[in-house]
Amino acid sequence: MKNLFIAMAIGLISMGCCNNQPASQQKCCDDNCNQVIETIMARRSVRAYKDTPIEKELLDKVVECGIYAANALNAQQWEVRVVMSQEWINMATEAAKAAAKGTPAEAQYNDPSFKNIFRNAPAVIFIGHKPSAYTPVDCGLMAGNMMLAAKSLGLGTVCMASPVRTFLQQPVGASFLESLEFSEGFEPLLCIGIGYPDEEPAAKPRNKEVIKYVE
């Protein structure tokens, strides 16, 4: 009987989150849950957004949470640029489209749900760094803070490397990157599309076997 109780308890704990909730509202149902853990477990990359503009106060809070991330030596070798201009986003999209003409990348623009190259988000946060051994880690932690803060405020996000890489590699990207006005020696590393979500993606499976306790 005792073994049965233990097995039931382990079963409940390993379920992690209650699975009878919509993907975006999953709640933890073991004893070790709180709002932070629920936010972590409920965050998903969102690639469909409402056109509703985001209140600037919310963006302010999200980026402030970003700069409170842990970073090596507290050197803060990072910069943040927030683009809310639909004109900028549309022009960047048109430039990327033109650069992709005749290449396999062109196909993505024919998707009927396609709105822009930032996975359809109405605003984009660019994170740049002064490259050194630790700064990509710093920027990743910053992005993580921002995405969780956004989720906790009812916003969706998607972290993206490809639009930044496209602009760094294509001549057409230079003027857009320049317009972000990163300081001398800094360059963009990644960006985060952000907005009110218009989809509730299910969690992608995670491989728990990567975790091992060393005895």
Ligand X SMILES: Cc1cc2nc3c(=O)[nH]c(=O)nc-3n(C[C@H](O)[C@H](O)[C@H](O)COP(=O)(O)O)c2cc1C
Q: How many CB atoms lie within 10 A of CB 176?
A: 20
Contact segment (CB under 6 A) with ligand X among 22-30, 43-51, 91-99, 124-132 equals 43-51
Task: Closer to ligand X by CB, 13 or 161: give it.
Answer: 161
Token digits for 90?
Answer: 């549309």
The residue whose two tokens read 């992690």 is 16
| Subset of residues 182 to 211 that bind ligand X, contact rule: CB under 6 A | 190, 201, 204
Q: Which is nearer to ligand X, 75 or 161 (CB)?
A: 161
Token pair 């549309």 in the structure block, residue: 90
Closest distance to ligand X from the beta carbon of 39 (Å) = 13
Q: Whole-angstrom Cα distance, residue 140 to residue 45?
A: 15
Name which position in 6, 8, 70, 161 contacts ligand X (CB under 6 A). 161
Number of residues forming the site for ligand X (CB under 6 A): 12
Q: Which window, 86-94, 95-103, 126-134, 159-167, contacts ligand X (CB under 6 A)?
A: 159-167
Q: Which residue, 86 or 108, is less far from ligand X as judged by CB?
A: 108
| Closest distance of CB 2 from ligand X, Å | 38
Per CB under 6 A, 119 contacts ligand X: yes
Angle between helix 35-42 and helix 135-152 axes, rounded to 10 deg: 100
Q: 3-state class of 180 per DSSP?
A: coil
**Could you give the residue ranges of the DSSP H alpha helices within 48-190?**
56-67, 86-100, 135-152, 162-169, 174-179
Q: Identify residues 76-115 at the interface with ligand X (CB under 6 A).
A: none
Helices and strands in the chain, H and E counts: 7, 4
- Nearest distance, CB of residue 162 and ligand X, angstroms: 3
Place of tokens 């070790």: 32
Q: Is residue 9 a contact residue for ligand X (CB under 6 A)?
A: no
